[in-house]
Amino acid sequence: MTTQDAGHINLNFKNRVNEALADQELRGNFRGAMDFLMQKRAAMFPDQEDLEALRKRGEQVRNRCLQQLPDLLEQLEAQCVSNGIQVHWAETAEQANNIILGIMRDHQATRMVKGKSMASEEIGLNHFLADHGIEALESDMGEYIVQLDHSTPSHIIMPAIHKNKQQIARLFHEKTPGVEYTEDVDKLIGTGREVLRQKFFEAEVGLSGVNFAVAETGTLCLVENEGNGRMSTTVPPVHIALCGIEKVVQSLADIPPLYRLLTRSATGQAITTYFNMISGPRKPDELDGPQEVHLVLLDNGRSRMYADKQLQQTLRCIRCGACMNHCPVYTRIGGHAYGSTYPGPIGQVVSPQIWGLNNAGNITQACSLNGACRDACPVNIPLPDLIRRLRHDGNNSTAEGQTAGQGQLRKPAEAVIWKFWALLNRSPLLYRLTLWSATRFRKLIPSHIGPWTRYRSAPRPASKSLHDLMKASGTQTNHPTNQP
Amino acid sequence: MSGTKAMMNSRHNILQRLRQYRTSMPAHEQMENPTAGVVEVENKVGAFTAAMEAAHGEVIPTTSEHWRRDLFEHLRAQAIHNLMIADQSRFADLLLQENTGIELLPYNQAFESMKDDLFHRVAAGFSVASAGIAETGTLIVKSGPGEPRTLSLVPPVNYVWLDANTLYQNQFEAFADKEYMKPLPTNLLLISGPSKTADIQQTLAYGAHGPKRLIVLLIDG
Ligand code: SF4
């Protein structure tokens, strides 16, 4: 998603939410999946004290690395270069796309196979390459299903979580020549495996994301279960790794606590099948591995997040997805309703900071501030506080932060109402008068008031206010002298 | 080239912005709990086996004397007709001279010439783990001239040799072992079971893109 089309996030947000809420099958799919993932995570953290200690450790490791971010990036670059990895820097999505296209062109390559990379979704790489005649094929099973369906991931860890078995069976049957309809998951995965093996075999370039980049050793780490990440980074002659600048860690010793938190929080696994650590292209005495490895370091708004004392906490994120799994709103509306590459609580925080509040600020409204995300986050990101902060910045052009589009979510009517509300509460006379009229004319309140009454009956003020009732019962109010 | 210049600018701009704002980052905190998450493992072989089997991996307990016999018996029993091994593997000479009725294929050329066989013909690959992690049932495989990484990835079955003496208790211990971790190979892999996915309605399926079966020859004695 490039900045130009990021406006989609704000446009029609309400419609998307309404559609999602009305789709019973979709709601069932998410409810089932989220319950499953929450249970699995809980089983991995039986002891609350141990969990808190580990979360604190994770938070501190990430903070230490972020504190040294510019130095670590330089160290990572130097170390990668000495390992034979070519390093590129991209300030924007557009630059990253062009760097990747340039590498493809240098090799006259037209076929790319991709391991899972949310950063590549963030920059809209597939569309960009398609416009330049290059096929970029997703190879993560979930991503592959989503691509076959001409859709986008609805979850950062489990991209096809919005679909059930029957829907996927139908999709495979319709979109893959010669494939019978079957709901047998092993057979469905077998079909994906066959199709994609051929693609790995033919691909000229493999693209992957990066979970951790180790500065001390110049190592790119990838976390996965399927083996498609290994395929994409091992079989094609050229490997391109796309990495957000915040992913860098200082040393190998930083990895175990973060990796432990990541897999347990994400899918409730003690460990993933593969932890793939790449420190360079094939050496002259080796028989396999890519001949070239490129690392593209992507900023795209991250250094702006870094500037703000509160919002910089966003950068601690290790993209585990636990916050969405535990979010009651996400569970009900699903990932697509947000309209952003990054849905759920972390999406509500990251998206406006990447694409601007004017383009993506509305999704901060899809939050009841219940705090479940903060309690689940393995690196203690205070997500509700950051969501509230962004809501505030969206309404205040004079806000301190650097987020684009500040103040642009301000609605004049809403502002007037709040002004009146403030006035009302400051003036006792006006307050009493309003209270008096609200109780007297309560029957005049219309029974249909917009979306509120679509699923609920209209509120009706009581005939007597609390003050009236207390007075009637003889209780004194507002007498400072009566207080103990 | 203007592209290079643009990139140099990007690099400069990004680093400059980060340096400018860095003061707003919380200062270096003293680690409150430097051992959080560390689980000590007493019975390393037992823990390794349990975790590997829980992940659908198979473990053949064996010894340095008998592992070849056990390997070939297993291949025959499972009707796996060929096995590929790197000709520079430390066990290549030992294995390639065996006459067992199993076809032994040497990985002796660059991947480009081996690719077709690896994808379409090889039934099982043979890898050597240089160490393991007990807590999580993990094999550590280091790429190198004798350890092509595609052998543990492309064929549908992967046999891995592991010496129980090399088991670390947990990942913390392994990653803190400077001698073992330096220098890092081009590709260091932690492998904890056969390839799998739960991307279709959270239903676990094995053999997503990598091996469908992972069989560990665990040398204990
Ligand atoms: S914000 Fe926390 S819980 Fe959400 S994806 Fe990031 S690390 Fe995971």
CA distance A138 to A410: 39
CA distance B174 to B142: 13
Cβ A317 under 6 angstroms from ligand 1: yes
Cβ A319 under 6 angstroms from ligand 1: yes
- Give the pLDDT confidence score for residue A481 in this predicted structure: 47
- Give the pLDDT confidence score for residue A477 in this predicted structure: 58
Q: Is the residue at A316 inside a domain? A: no
CA distance A419 to A285: 74
- Give the pLDDT confidence score for residue A4 in this predicted structure: 45
Residue with CA at minimum distance from ligand 1 atom 6: A317
Tell me, yes or no, whether A178 and A137 share the same domain.
yes
Q: Which of A372, A395, A410 lies at the terminal end of a domain, its last residue?
A: A410
CA distance A60 to B198: 32
- Size of chain A, expressed as the number of residues it contains: 484
Report the residue of chain A nearest B87, measured CA to CA: A287
For ligand 1, the distance from its centroid to the CA atom of residue A345, given in whole angstroms, is 8
Helices and strands (H and E) in chain B: how many: 7, 12
**B199/A217 touch (CB, cutoff 8 Å), yes or no:** no
Report the residue of chain A nearest B12, measured CA to CA: A89
Comparing CA positions, the residue from A71, A210, A314 lying closest to residue B18 is: A71
B window 92-111, beta carbon within 8 A of A: 107, 109-111
Tell me, yes or no, whether A208 and A244 share the same domain.
yes
DSSP string, A307-318: TSTTGGGGGG--
- Give the pLDDT confidence score for residue A281 in this predicted structure: 98
- Give the pLDDT confidence score for residue B161 in this predicted structure: 98
For ligand 1, the distance from its centroid to the CA atom of residue A382, given in whole angstroms, is 10
- Give the pLDDT confidence score for residue A396 in this predicted structure: 85
A132/B contact by beta carbon, under 8 A: no
Instruction: Quote the minimal CA–CA distance from B173 to chain A in Å.
Output: 9
Instruction: Quote the minimal CA–CA distance from A484 to chain B in Å.
Output: 43
Q: Which residues of chain B have a CB within 8 Å of the CB of A66? A: 25
- Please name the member of A98, A165, A234 whose beta carbon is closest to the beta carbon of B150: A234
- Give the pLDDT confidence score for residue A119 in this predicted structure: 96
Q: Is the residue at A309 inside a domain? A: no
B29/A contact by beta carbon, under 8 A: yes
Q: Is the ipTM of this complex over 0.85?
A: yes
Cβ A323 under 6 angstroms from ligand 1: yes
Instruction: Quote the minimal CA–CA distance from A91 to chain B in Å.
Output: 5
CA distance B55 to B64: 25
Tell me, yes or no, whether A292 and A328 share the same domain.
no
Atom number of ligand 1 nearest to Cα A321: 5
Tell me, yes or no, whether A12 and A117 share the same domain.
no
Residue type, B207: G
Tell me, yes or no, whether A378 and A465 share the same domain.
no
Structural domains of chain B ordered from first start? 57-219 (3.40.50.10420)
**Mean pLDDT (whole number) for B153-165:** 98
Tell me, yes or no, whether A68 and A145 share the same domain.
yes
Tell me, yes or no, whether A393 and A420 share the same domain.
no
Q: Is the residue at A178 inside a domain? A: yes
- Residue A423, domain extent: 414-482
Q: Is the residue at A379 inside a domain? A: yes
Q: Is the residue at A311 inside a domain? A: no
Do A226 and A174 form a contact (C-beta atoms < 8 A)? Answer: no
Q: Give the pLDDT confidence of B60-111 residue by residue, as tens digits.
A: 999 999 999 999 999 999 999 999 999 999 999 988 887 788 999 999 999 9
- Size of chain B, expressed as the number of residues it contains: 221
- Give the pLDDT confidence score for residue B2 in this predicted structure: 46
Split chain A (484 residues) into runs of 10 and give each run's mean pLDDT. 61 89 91 93 94 95 95 98 97 96 96 94 95 93 91 91 92 90 92 92 96 98 96 97 98 97 95 97 97 98 93 96 96 93 96 93 94 97 96 86 86 88 91 87 82 80 85 69 44
Comparing CA positions, the residue from B203, B196, B209, B56 lying closest to residue A169 is: B203
Alpha-helix runs per DSSP H in A68-184: 69-83, 93-106, 118-122, 125-131, 141-148, 165-175
A47/B contact by beta carbon, under 8 A: no
DSSP string, A228-265: HHHHHHHSSSEEEEEEEGGGEESSGGGHHHHHHHHHHH
Comparing CA positions, the residue from A66, A61, A73, A76 lying closest to residue A260 is: A61
Q: How many domains, in total, are found in chain A?
A: 3
| B202 has pLDDT over 70 | yes
Tell me, yes or no, whether A399 and A474 share the same domain.
no
Tell me, yes or no, whether A38 and A55 share the same domain.
no
First-to-last CA distance in chain A? 61
Cis amide prior to A451 (ω within 30 degrees): no
A296/B contact by beta carbon, under 8 A: no
User: pTM to 2 decimals?
Assistant: 0.92
Atom number of ligand 1 nearest to Cα A266: 8
Q: Is the residue at A64 inside a domain? A: yes
Tell me, yes or no, whether A288 and A428 share the same domain.
no
Comparing CA positions, the residue from B87, B220, B83, B98 lying closest to residue B147 is: B87
Tell me, yes or no, whether A247 and A374 share the same domain.
no
Q: Is the residue at A313 inside a domain? A: no
Tell me, yes or no, whether A102 and A58 share the same domain.
yes
Tokens 């803190």 identify what position? B176
For ligand 1, the distance from its centroid to the CA atom of residue B172, given in whole angstroms, is 23
Q: Which of A375, A390, A410 lies at the terminal end of a domain, its last residue?
A: A410
Q: Which of A304, A329, A345 lies at the terminal end of a domain, its last residue?
A: A304
CATH number at residue A278: 3.40.50.10420
